Structure 1
């Protein structure tokens, strides 16, 4: 199975000037563990995860003051929509992260998460058992 078949194509996008609380509220409302951060003044795409928010709060930072741009990963590993789910899982395992931004050319096509991979894996196991 390819990443394009397993990824979430409805991506939460926030800007680098959103506060951590704003990003956390949007992630919570959408039931997602990450947000893609696009800075119009920068090249590339970043990602903010629930772990980034947790680390900031754990460090005693004010989530109403801190901006997403200071707490995200710009050095993102991107997946292609034609990657296999196994390739995505391998990249996640090597990098120690749970989300991959999926780029189709230079455009964000989606995000694939460990949850997406587990859903696909469980579905294929259930289909094999039937």
Structure 2
């Protein structure tokens, strides 16, 4: 990789700094966005989605309580918190279909038996591309937004799609 400051051409591809003048090269290795959608995804933080406040339940809550909170909140996921308010898990519609369906007396069973422990998370300052990458890699439809280990919001695939359609130039 060549250095634009001193024209040194023996820098290894992906080098952090020029071996001759020390110019930082990391920004030169970053992919350039192609259009407004890519620019938005690469540069804008998760906070632009205005994440919904999280609907939370305690790990000891019953599945009946959790499903009522999901229905009342019109959401597909509840975040599960520990005694100090820290995020310890997530319980989603998919969990109900794959882990709970058919379990006798499920309404009275504790959330901790069925939740996904230590879910992937993002912070409000992470880029949209980072969040989308996590959602894609894990096949997640909901992603908790945390600050200091505590849930401050939830984003969904629908939130990202809505944002992308707003950014898309009209045809």
1:20 lines up with 2:63 in the alignment: yes
Aligned to 1:87: 130
Q: Which structure ranks higher in relative contact order (CA pairs < 8 Å, sequence separation ≥ 6)? A: 1
* Backbone CA RMSD of aligned residues: 2.1
Structure number having the greater helix percentage? 1
Structure 1: gaps spanning 5 or more residues? none
Unaligned runs of 5+ in 2: 1-43
Worse overlay, 102-111 or 72-81: 102-111
TM-score normalized with structure 2 length: 0.67
TM-score (norm 1): 0.85
Bigger CA radius of gyration: 2
Q: Any runs of at least 4 consecutive aligned residues in structure 1 with deviations exceeding 4 A, and if so which?
A: 41-44
Query: 1:68 is matched with which residue?
Result: 111
Q: Distance in 1 between matches of 2:134 and 2:143?
A: 9
Q: Cα offset for 1:32?
A: 0.7
After TM superposition, list the pairs within 5 Å mapping 1:48-127 onto structure 2: 48-125=91-168
